[in-house]
Each structure stands twice: as structure tokens, then as C-alpha cells.
Amino acid sequence: MRITVVRGDIIDQDVDAVVNAANSGLLGGGGVDGAILRAGGQAQLDARRALRDRIGSLSTGQAAATIAGDMRARWVIHVVGPVWTSTEDRGGLLGSCYREALRVADELGARTVAFPAVSAGVYGWPMRSAADIAVTTIRAIDAGVDEARFVLFSDGAYAEFSRALDRQDP
């Protein structure tokens, strides 16, 4: 699997699946989640409601998919990242978001997947640590996905994910 890092907006990516940093209720929030929901329109909102009605809420570290609606992507894979805390190591839960997203992508037959910096926004995860966990986790997975693309909105996030990828390049 090829791993790439791009500076841009995840909603504009021409990929099979976009990973959404969702909240457990799945119906939109701020940041990446709100942007993806707005871009997906009514069809995505309806799909999220149907998913929520079927499963209740999505647990931290888990993933589930819906159609993407009006986005370029075909699917949105929703993950709930952990809230960062200095008193508990929740890195395993953050890594699980990436593993589970790729598992769901494989089930869907997605060949290209765009990821945000899960938990590194309003959930407060330090960007350097978020980048290291994300890149290390994705590298360790043998998935049917051809490309895992980290799409970062800010220069700082792009720099940290680029650093993590360069540092860990074989």
C-alpha cells in the first residue's frame, strides 16, 4: 500500500472512500465531520441517520461506512477517535481507528482512502503524536487498499505527517 501526504481539503479528494473523524452520534459536528456532512448533502445525512438507527452509537476506535452522497468519494468511513488526555495512554484506541477504517475499506472494495488527522482537532490529540500513531499503524497493515492518503488542512499538520512518513520510510 502506498502512503501519501497531501495538503488540502479532504472533501475535495478524488478517492473511493473518505475517513470521517466523527462523534459517536454520527450526525455531524464541527471540523472534518461537519465539512464532510455538508459536502455529502441530504443523501449522506439520511445514510448516517439510518446507520445510527441501526447501530445506536459508534464506539471509540470503531468504524462504520455510509454512502458519501454528493461528494466525489463513493463512501464515508466514520471513525470515533479518542479524546486526548495526559493521564491515560489512549494511543491504542487512536491506532484502532486507522486499522478499523482500513478493515471497512477492504470490505467495501475501496482501493483509495483519504484520512484526516483523527483526534488531532477538537479532541486535543497533540499533532506530532497523532501523526506518529497514524503512520505507524497504517504501515503495519496489510490491506487491499492501493493508497492511504493523509489529507491535512493546515501547514502544521502537513509538516508533522510528512515528518512521520519520512522518518519511517523503509
170 within 8 A of 8, measured Cβ to Cβ? no
Whether pLDDT at 169 is above 80 = no
Percent of the chain's residues with pLDDT above 70: 98
Q: For residue 100, what is the domain's CATH number?
A: 3.40.220.10
Distance CA 101, CA 111 (A): 12
Distance CA 116, CA 32 (A): 8
135 within 8 A of 164, measured Cβ to Cβ? yes
Q: How many other C-beta atoms lie within 10 A of the C-beta of residue 84?
A: 17
Say how many domains are in the chain: 1
Three cell numbers written together for 15: 478517492
pLDDT at position 130 = 98
Structure confidence at residue 89 as a pLDDT band (50, 70, 90): very high
Distance CA 105, CA 111 (A): 8
List Cα–Cα distances, 87 to 1, 64, 127, 128, in angstroms.
34, 29, 17, 18
Active site residues: 33
Mean pLDDT value across residues 20-38: 92
pLDDT digits (tens, 9 = 90+) for 32-77: 999 999 999 999 999 999 999 999 999 999 999 999 999 999 999 9
**99 Cβ contact partners less than 8 Å away, ≥ 6 residues apart:** 137, 141
Sign of the CA dihedral with 7 first, then 100, 108, and 169 last: positive
Range of the domain at 8: 2-168
Residue 15 φ then ψ, to 5° = -135, 170
